Amino acid sequence: MRRPLLPVLLGAATLVLAPGLVRAHAIQTDLTVVGHSHSHLEASLPAAGSKLELASHFSTGLPARDASVRLIPAQGGTPIELGRTNADGRLAFALPAGTGRDAEIQVDAGAGHRDWIELSELGRPVRQAAVPWGALRGNLLTLAPLAALGLLGGLARLNRRRG
């Protein structure tokens, strides 16, 4: 009787654990202009050459060490490598000349661990969700067929033993 329940339990556990799998990939990045208050950032994009400091960490609180940081131009131009984060998940850099307001900064810690910061959003309050619904929904859609397969397999075994 225990064996047919194993696929059923595995399928149920997959659905229950799915939010944890999504959360493992979450990165939070903060970007500040060195020497300026947030109120200065709301009015305009920092000038080229402005010193920026980035701090990036995983949802667990661990720093995103050795993550690649790039400036992604708005119109799909060639990304500009800004550097790599240190052991504390930090990187200080100067904003390159010609950076447009619609450019993004990408933090890539590998294995799907990525974060993007729109320069146009600098200085605005950030709304955060513990687990973004889009990521959770995508993960559930990926795992749901596996869970359903486990449930069907378990039910098929139960029917064979009864019949």
- Give the tokens for residue 125: 């309050």
Query: Three-state DSSP class for 154?
Result: helix
Instruction: Quickly state the pLDDT bin for 48 (edges 50, 70, 90).
Output: confident
Give the model's pLDDT for residue 150: 75
Instruction: Quickly state the pLDDT bin for 45 (edges 50, 70, 90).
Output: low
- Give the tokens for residue 135: 């990521």
Alpha carbon 114 to chain centroid, angstroms: 5
Give the model's pLDDT for residue 152: 77
Per-residue pLDDT tens over the stretch 139-153: 555 667 777 777 777
Chain mean pLDDT for the chain: 75
User: 70 pLDDT exceeds 50?
Assistant: yes
Give the model's pLDDT for residue 108: 94
Q: How far is 103 from 112, CA to CA, in rounded Å?
A: 21
Among the listed ranges 47-56, 75-84, 96-105, 133-142, which one has the minimum average pLDDT value?
133-142
Least Cα distance to 85 among 60, 107, 52, 62 occurs for 107
Instruction: Quickly state the pLDDT bin for 81 (edges 50, 70, 90).
Output: very high
pLDDT over 70, % of the chain: 63
Per-residue pLDDT tens over the stretch 100-109: 878 899 999 9
The residue that leads in pLDDT, 58 or 77, is 58
